Amino acid sequence: MSESSSIDSVLKETRTFAPPAAFTAQANIRSEEQYNTMWQRAKDDPAGFWGDLAREHLHWFRPFDTVLEGEMPETRWFSGGTINASYNCLDRHLETERRNKAAIIWEGEPGDTRVLRYQDLHREVCRFANVLKGLGVEKGDRITLYMPMIPELTIAMLACARIGAVHSIIFGGFSADAVADRNNDAQARIVITADGGWRRGREVPLKAAVDAALEKSPTVEKVVVVRRTGGEVDMVPDRDFWWHELTEGASADCDAVEVDAEHPLFILYTSGSTGKPKGVLHSTAGYLLGTTMTTQWVFDLKEDDTYWCTADIGWITGHSYITYGPLSNGATVVMYEGAPNWPDEGRFWEIVEKYRVSIFYTAPTAIRAFIKWGNQWPEKYDLSSLRLLGTVGEPINPEAWMWYREVIGQERCPIVDTWWQTETGGIMISPLPGITATKPGSCGRPLPGVVPDIVSSDGTSLPANEGGLLVMRQPWPHMLRTLYGDHERFKQVYFSEIPGCYFAGDGARRDEDGYIWVMGRVDDVINVSGHRLSTMEIESALVAHERVAEAAVVGFPHEIKGEGIFCFVTLKDGEGDEALQQELTQHVRDQIGALATPDRVRFAPALPKTRSGKIMRRLLRDIAAGRESVQDTTTLEDLSVLARLRDEEE
């Protein structure tokens, strides 16, 4: 946690935008009264509220006996029920006219396209599920997916779910070491990858990284490789197999396995503030219910929508709002492999025009990049099919929000600024597009079933407009169940700060209308381009270099990325120069991945520390941001260190 418990809120925004009447008239949630009734019922009678939705919106092999047992952090949902996520995303649609509806409209970066109807997706998932069984995979086994954004990624996810195996997806931008760490933590038996993927016209070599990772991942027995780029790969006999060869003769008949409601669906690693990544584990039924309902409420999904979430499936946004939420609802999902600026900066808008996308969900970091590239790009294309816009991943600055509304939404589309986390599984706080008068920069009010509070560090509720810690007072079905292999850490990280509450790690305030304004994270995690990175992990990477004695990493405001990475480095001996700065930058990239590339490396003779030896990050943050520090320095061991750092920065 931060060194200080109060958080100053400086943002003051007074503009509001009511939803267009025509939107409200057709919306899934269309009146304030409807929202209030749902929210109140979910608060007073969560079991009744969620139980009804679970019966109505999910397919159960065996109905559950109870809806909710226990209290946070030890909750169990839908005990006695058996279910399958793949069945819910596929089989149940085959009994309806959705069977010939497009499930995935995919576009590769080079411009190749594929459309998979629900029937096609079902067949491919069944075949690959049989392949996994043939490789000896059993219910509960962990499978690592390290893949580009191609349909085989969705197929592999749903194939795991179909046989009760637990997928652990690692974003393709992570390095071999990161893959090895996650393989080992999850004790993965199989890795599914591709030769490579396309990014800005270049091949990202994935299989080569898996080969390096496997030198340090003793639990992995087999590797399945999709041929995507056609690049050179080494195939190790009896360990590595081509996807297309294995699936060629595989049967398309594969019953979905019945699993308990609480059976783990997936593990997704996310950065923690103590270095080691946290294996966030989600359940099957609760997670599926949460993503199914929030997709309907927040994105106002309709049968004829064409829905595009631009996230990578390697992050939670892609799990919940490219795969499980939309497919469980039988939606048509657009999926794009590559970069937004390839072959030029108009690529996203070209895709919107080409497929007549109606719902578009992206991140503030992307919006800031679009603004920088200029209005001429979106203006070249017909964006009239859009009816709803969303953002996720970090606070959006009001000016970027206004640009999104005016230039992309053409003042016609409501914007949903959705607050949630890897751990929450689905959207928690968001405008409801048919009823909420939106305020640029605020994520609005809690969804039904979500009971947040803003508290001081001793757990007292704070009045309107006072900044504090954002906590949840009531459990919800799609919350994480544990950190894989470390239940104590799970309890300690999320439930020990404010007793009886889930603490999200974010600071926020609630305004006089009950709207939440998230102010960012209060611990040592930085948010680069909407992705959470642990400063500790970057520090560990730096210290692993032979010349580095100590390192402190902080975020600083960055025009495009939201936060940039600023590294303060103390050397064992000698002076640092530009060559060493570059070497260290490359070293961090190699160790963690391109996403963690430092923006600045500063050599410092010493780091400012408290008397107990804790690095005073708040002071370093001020220096990195070029601010005159107003922090309390009474516990600082050596004030001259600080003065030196500040002088050099000016």
Binding site for ligand PRX (CB under 6 A): 270, 316-317, 392-395, 417-422, 443, 504-506, 518, 520-521, 527, 531-532
Instruction: Please report how close the Cβ of residue 51 comes to ligand PRX at its closest, in angstroms.
Output: 26
Q: 464 in helix, strand or coil? A: coil
Answer for the pair 163, 257: CB distance below 8 angstroms, yes or no: yes
Instruction: Please report how close the Cβ of residue 273 comes to ligand PRX at its closest, in angstroms.
Output: 12
Q: Which residues contact 492 (CB under 8 A, 6 or more apart)?
A: none
47 C-beta neighbours (distance < 10 Å), count:
12
Instruction: Please report how close the Cβ of residue 423 comes to ligand PRX at its closest, in angstroms.
Output: 7
Q: Which residues contact 579 (CB under 8 A, 6 or more apart)?
A: none
Instruction: Please report how close the Cβ of residue 219 comes to ligand PRX at its closest, in angstroms.
Output: 26
**Alpha carbon distance 30, 25 (integer Å):** 7
Instruction: Please report how close the Cβ of residue 463 comes to ligand PRX at its closest, in angstroms.
Output: 22
Nearest residue (CB) to ligand PRX, 504 versus 553: 504
**Alpha carbon distance 302, 26 (integer Å):** 10
Give me the residue whose beta carbon is nearest to ligand PRX. 422
Nearest residue (CB) to ligand PRX, 205 versus 557: 557
Nearest residue (CB) to ligand PRX, 51 versus 449: 449
Nearest residue (CB) to ligand PRX, 51 versus 318: 318
Nearest residue (CB) to ligand PRX, 106 versus 321: 321
- Single out the residue of 416, 419, 155, 420 nearest to residue 282, CA to CA: 420
Please name the helix (run of DSSP H) or strand (run of DSSP E) that holds residue 569, with its range, or none. strand 562-571
Nearest residue (CB) to ligand PRX, 396 versus 620: 396
Q: Which three-class secondary structure string do you get for 77-146? A: ECCCCEECHHHHHHHHHHCCHHHHCEEEEEECCCCCEEEEEHHHHHHHHHHHHHHHHHCCCCCCCEEEEE
Please name the residue that has the structure tokens 């102010």. 519
**Bridging pattern class, strands 264-270 and 166-169:** parallel
Q: How many CA atoms lie within 13 A of 541 on its CB side?
A: 26
**Alpha carbon distance 520, 356 (integer Å):** 34
Nearest residue (CB) to ligand PRX, 165 versus 309: 309
Instruction: Please report how close the Cβ of residue 319 comes to ligand PRX at its closest, in angstroms.
Output: 10
Q: Which residues contact 53 (CB under 8 A, 6 or more apart)?
A: 289, 293
Instruction: Please report how close the Cβ of residue 394 comes to ligand PRX at its closest, in angstroms.
Output: 5
Instruction: Please report how close the Cβ of residue 272 comes to ligand PRX at its closest, in angstroms.
Output: 11
- Single out the residue of 549, 590, 542, 530 nearest to residue 566, CA to CA: 542
Q: 359 phi and psi, to 5 degrees?
A: -125, 130
Nearest residue (CB) to ligand PRX, 420 versus 490: 420
Instruction: Please report how close the Cβ of residue 181 comes to ligand PRX at its closest, in angstroms.
Output: 18
Instruction: Please report how close the Cβ of residue 290 comes to ligand PRX at its closest, in angstroms.
Output: 13
Answer for the pair 506, 494: CB distance below 8 angstroms, yes or no: no
Supply the Cα-derived Rg of the chain in whole angstroms.
Answer: 24
Nearest residue (CB) to ligand PRX, 272 versus 378: 272
Nearest residue (CB) to ligand PRX, 120 versus 185: 185
**Bridging pattern class, strands 76-77 and 264-270:** unpaired
Instruction: Please report how close the Cβ of residue 285 comes to ligand PRX at its closest, in angstroms.
Output: 21
Answer for the pair 240, 225: CB distance below 8 angstroms, yes or no: yes
Nearest residue (CB) to ligand PRX, 152 versus 506: 506
**Bridging pattern class, strands 332-336 and 359-362:** unpaired
